[in-house]
Amino acid sequence: MLLQRKYNENIDKDVKSLFEAWPEISYKISVKPIEVGDDTINVVYLDVNDEDFDKAVGVFEAKEEAMGAFRSFAYELGFEEYPTNIAFLHADFDGDKLLLFLKAKNNDNIETFDQLSVEKLTKQLLDYQRVVLYQSAILTYLKDIFPAIDSMAYVIPHQLSSIGCQAPDLKDLAKIYGVSLDTKQDEITFIEKILEDMDVVCKGKKLPPIEAPL
């Protein structure tokens, strides 16, 4: 299990609290600077030995239950799991019918959901630690049904704003890149592509990596 968090003055105290509560768990700690905007942030990583959770079986019914309890306490202290499973989420209206499109990173398959299958979508979102959006309105729609989306969502316009840049309309952005967006499937694929190079939108400033702590 790899946990991460932005460095702050409480980090030593919080790491101590976590492992005082779980003394049987071994870990390695490291700090890495990440370029964000025209500055850097320091990110703390806790590489936790998963095998040590076998020692907690007895107190917990299973290793997975122990890991879940540990993870919950770490989240309370401001850590999050390093995102290895990342998805892109996009939306459109077909008349008055809402459609949602889900695409896993580096996977060409795009799934489509409507209002009747949104529960299926939220169950699938549990497979991901990070969900990337270009439309912040999706958060407004989903957070009442799936509150966890708030802590998972990397909203590109918000991230651009945080480094002093503005997010153009997606279709205007496509014109800058010389890309044709004929379908919503094209749009969600384009959203993944532009994250590789946002210098057109925000010259000289680094967008926070999608894996970075939110």
Q: Which of 55, 81, 107 is the last residue of a domain?
A: 81
Q: Is the pLDDT of residue 92 over 90?
A: no
CATH number at residue 62: 3.30.70
Strands 39-48 and 27-36: antiparallel
Is the same domain home to 189 and 110? yes
- Which pTM value belongs to this model? 0.87
- Looking at the chain, the whole-number percentage of residues with pLDDT higher than 70 is 100
Is the same domain home to 140 and 70? no
- Supply φ then ψ for residue 73, to 5 degrees: -65, -40
Element (H, E) at 27: strand 27-36
Is the same domain home to 92 and 188? yes
Is the same domain home to 146 and 161? yes
Q: Is the pLDDT of residue 165 over 90?
A: no
What domain range includes position 53? 2-81
Is the same domain home to 41 and 113? no
Q: Is residue 98 part of a domain?
A: yes
Predicted local confidence at residue 79, as pLDDT:
96
Q: Is residue 207 part of a domain?
A: no
What single-letter amino acid sits at 178?
Answer: G
Average of per-residue pLDDT across 58-87: 95
Element (H, E) at 90: strand 86-94
Predicted local confidence at residue 16, as pLDDT:
96
Is the same domain home to 72 and 115? no
